[in-house]
Amino acid sequence: MSATAAPLAMQRRGRRRVRWLRSPSGRLGLLLCAIVLLVAFVGPLFAPHTPTEVITRAYAPHGHAGLALGSDYLGRDVVSRVLWGGRSLIIMPLLATLVAYVIGGVLALIATVVGGWLGELLMRGFDVLLVFPGLLLALLLVTALGKSLTTAFIAIVLLQIPAVARIFYSAAIEVTNRGYVEAAVARGERLSHLLTREILPNIAGTIAADFGPRLIASVFLIAALGFLGFGAEAPDANWALMITENRSGITINGYAVFVPVAAIAMLTIGVSLVSDAIARSIGTADDEAIG
């Protein structure tokens, strides 16, 4: 492919990749994500009570004292805590995943461009980190640094960086072997030009398809830490924390557990469907480009 033809091919692939919006699974995933995001970020405006206000007795059934979903283990309104409990569970994994992508992506691109023993040493170091069980490493960090949302944030970033770097590196290595990148190198283009004009635009689709599973893994990790009591702490409203706090009363008022579980499930399913739709659209676009 010539240097002139490369931008045209990129534009065609870009147009094809928006097909995921016309995919039934992509639209369903987008709808699920939109519902969860609306509940998490707009829901607090419509909460009938503050998330810490004690209204009635513990585990009151739905309808008691005017509470649509009853009360939790302290007698607080389940609806209000659900409406308030999504922000931290979404914002922190999202920010941590973005930070991991920036750090891991930059390091992987440096390893790709520099190459040689330095690039291999950097990537082999990431491979070593990948063999550590994620939850175990997170628990070690929590034990060393103390249980807090900040520690959970650091754990997510450190756990995601090696996997993100591997994805960036694999995608970038494949791109650097293409003709238009070799032509740019032969023209003496600067490193910044190679990264921003030749490599990043051509791996953006792959990175976008990978972002969904990474975000889901971050959500699961923060939910697992919360379930184990190492994430958000009472009296914070957090969906993962609600599951931990109310599991002992699941047979009395199951809404206090099942509703936050359903919210987390909707988020993960929605992100998975969108990510899969993007990946399929990228594969279709690439096949057509080859054809």
Mean pLDDT over 124-144 rounds to: 77
Q: Please tell me the distance from the alpha carbon of residue 89 to that of residue 259, in angstroms, as a whole number.
A: 14
**283 — pLDDT class (breaks 50, 70, 90):** low
Does the pLDDT of residue 129 top 80, yes or no? no
Farthest-apart Cα atoms in the chain, separation: 75
- Is residue 77 within 8 Å of 48, Cβ to Cβ? yes
Does the pLDDT of residue 286 top 80, yes or no? no
Q: What is the pLDDT of residues 19-72, one digit of tens each?
A: 667 788 888 999 999 999 999 999 999 999 999 999 999 999 999 888 999 999
Does the pLDDT of residue 291 top 70, yes or no? no
Looking at domain 87-236, which CATH architecture does it have?
A: Orthogonal Bundle (1.10)
Mean pLDDT over 188-192 rounds to: 65
The one-letter code for the residue type at 4 is T
Whole-number Cα distances in Å, 37 to 54, 126, 214, 261, 281:
26, 33, 18, 15, 24
Q: Which of 65-74, 78-87, 189-198 has the lowest mean pLDDT?
A: 189-198
Q: Domain coordinates of the chain in residue numbers?
A: 1-85+240-291, 87-236
3-class SS at 54? strand
Q: Please tell me the distance from the alpha carbon of residue 168 to that of residue 99, in angstroms, as a whole number.
A: 14
Q: Please tell me the distance from the alpha carbon of residue 67 to that of residue 88, in angstroms, as a whole number.
A: 24
If we measure between CA atoms, which residue out of 256, 252, 214 comes closest to residue 239?
Answer: 256
**235 — pLDDT class (breaks 50, 70, 90):** confident
Does the pLDDT of residue 194 top 50, yes or no? yes
Percent of the chain residues topping a pLDDT of 90: 29
Whole-number Cα distances in Å, 140 to 144, 152, 228:
6, 11, 13
pTM tops 0.85: no
pLDDT of residue 31: 94
Does the pLDDT of residue 157 top 70, yes or no? yes
3-class SS at 77? strand
Q: Please tell me the distance from the alpha carbon of residue 106 to that of residue 219, in angstroms, as a whole number.
A: 23
pLDDT of residue 182: 65
Name the more confident of 2 and 268.
268
pLDDT of residue 99: 94
3-class SS at 115? coil
pLDDT of residue 108: 85
